[in-house]
Amino acid sequence: MEFIEFWRRVERAHRVQTYFLIWWLPFSMGVLLLMAETLERIPQWAFFVLFWAWPVVGMLLALRLTCLVCPQCGKRAFAHPRFRLSDAVCTHCGLRRSESSSRPS
Ligand SMILES: [Zn+2]
């Protein structure tokens, strides 16, 4: 159970981070266009929030992923937030997703 829950959390955090990176620019442009139509001009603070807050939110999502603790060795499982989910492996003990699903819980 512990291993399965760990990999579920990894998948969820990885998915959120990936969608954030992919959809941020189209989402931001959509919000700005909507604001431009409703307010007739885009307020300056909107640019600040939509474009400068992006790195902060991205770093928080990356930090969330790299702070996940491996259930096997008890250390932070990932040193870097960008990796292929299918190749995900604990950097310390080498725990893999495929190994975890066959373990008794
Ligand atoms: Zn580990």
Residue position matching structure tokens 């990999």 = 7
Residues 101 and 88: beta-carbon distance below 8 Å: no
Q: Find the angle CA(82)-CA(89)-CA(72) to the nearest 5 degrees.
A: 130
Enter the DSSP assignment of 101.
Answer: H
Lookup result for tokens 């495929």:
98
pLDDT tens per residue, the chain (105 residues)? 689 999 999 999 999 998 888 888 888 888 888 877 887 777 778 777 777 788 888 889 999 999 999 999 999 999 998 888 888 999 999 999 877 665 554
Q: What is the pLDDT at residue 13?
A: 94
CA of 73 to the centre of ligand 1 (A): 4
Confidence (pLDDT) at 100: 67
> Where do the domains of the chain lie?
2-102
Q: How far is the CA of 21 from the centre of ligand 1 (A)?
A: 27
Q: Does the global pTM surpass 0.95?
A: no
User: Is-contact 46 28, C-beta < 8 A?
Assistant: no
In sign, the C-alpha dihedral spanning 7, 87, 73, 105 is positive
Ligand 1: centre distance to CA 83 (Å):
16
